Amino acid sequence: MGRLDNKIAIITGGASGMGAAMAKLFAEEGATVIAADINEENLAKISELEHVEGMKLDVSSDENWAEVTKAVINKYGRIDILINNAGISSEKGPDQISQADWTIMHNINAFGPFLGIKHASNYMKVAGKGSIVNTSSYTAIIGAGMNAYTASKGSLRAIARAAAAELGAFNIRINTVFPGVIETPMTAKLSEAKEAMDMLVQATPMGRLGQPEEVANAILFLASDEASYITGAELVIDGGYSAR
């Protein structure tokens, strides 16, 4: 307990799935958490947690990012931690993907984190420190699936590495995690396809899917001062799938 005492943390996609697990854990560890999400119903629920405040955010909107980060600064005085976790997925194969599909996926999964880094780091530079953790995907490591999702998560990987190199001089750390298939609402459709699910589990050395709390614990470490000399790191959390 207390690993994030007095920290101000923004978690995008923070009202459900992995984001909600992070919000709960971060609050338990002493942080004031801004759970930024586009789903108002989920925001109302997550805001019931102690030390968690829900704020509506469309991560693909530059203007909305400016408004939310300014609101956090006005209320709390600083932004210590940003977790770029919001994302969407799609089951469409390459023959089904339209330009509109591609654009929407990249706007949320890649441009969104870019905007988060852009706006949060401006305030972190003034403070002389900050920690940003991005949620990419194991698909960006192993190239699983020629689709817009894989491409968007690969784009996030490149953005994060460039940001780590550029912002290290300001004592702002940028790290990225690469989860495998985690049991969340976003992967619920996959769980309904028993054959595909069985294949994934069989191909995973640990023989099971991941839990949101397991990702949250890894991100907690990277976000905390315990990781004060870690930047540009890439941590895969996939039960050994990518090590096959």
- Asked if 82 contacts 132 with a C-beta cutoff of 8 angstroms, the reply is yes
Per the listing, tokens 């420190």 go with 129
Report the candidate in 77, 64, 70 with the shortest Cα–Cα distance to residue 86: 64
- Asked if 130 contacts 80 with a C-beta cutoff of 8 angstroms, the reply is yes
Our answer to whether residue 241 is catalytic in this structure is no
Contacts of 79 (CB under 8 A, 6+ apart): 8, 9, 10, 69, 72, 73, 120, 123, 124, 127, 130
Q: Please tell me which residue in 76, 123, 138, 149 is annotated as part of the active site.
A: 149
Show which residues are catalytic: 149
